[in-house]
């Protein structure tokens, strides 16, 4: 089944490669995405030191930061360890993407 671009959940995780918190955020996010009902997620992981223009455009001040670009633009700062809160936000965005 093909999913239209506007129905996809689009995420960008900004990380610093030497940061333990960034490594935890990536692991936590992978686990959270596995728990979503709809697998139609575009995830882009960006190193802020290598992609400063994108980080500036997304107004990234701290790493790790998860940017939900579509359908509801939002930012989550930290290692995404508060699984219930992050999952609630992702499920809300997932629901918005499918309506």
Average pLDDT of span 71-93: 88
The CATH superfamily of 5-98 is: Glutaredoxin (3.40.30.10)
Q: What is the pLDDT of residue 11?
A: 93
pLDDT per position as a tens digit, 29-78? 999 988 877 668 899 999 999 999 999 999 999 999 999 988 778 899 99
9 vs 60, residue with greater confidence: 60
Cα–Cα distance between 9 and 82 in angstroms, integer?
20
Q: What is the pLDDT of residue 46?
A: 97
- The model's pTM: 0.85
Q: What is the pLDDT of residue 97?
A: 60
Domain boundaries, the chain: 5-98
Sheet of 65-70: strand order equals 41-47, 9-15, 65-70, 74-77
Give the orientation angle of helix 83-98 with respect to helix 20-34, to 10 degrees.
Answer: 50
């Amino acid at each position: 089944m093909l999913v239209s671009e506007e129905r996809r959940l689009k995420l960008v995780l900004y990380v610093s490669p030497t940061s333990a918190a960034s490594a935890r955020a990536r692991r936590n996010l992978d686990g959270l995405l596995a728990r979503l009902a709809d697998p139609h997620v575009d995830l882009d992981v960006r190193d802020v030191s290598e992609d400063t223009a994108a980080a500036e455009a997304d107004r990234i001040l701290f790493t790790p930061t998860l940017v939900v670009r579509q359908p509801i633009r939002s930012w989550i700062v930290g290692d995404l360890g508060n699984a219930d809160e992050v999952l609630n936000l992702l499920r809300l965005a997932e629901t918005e993407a499918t309506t």
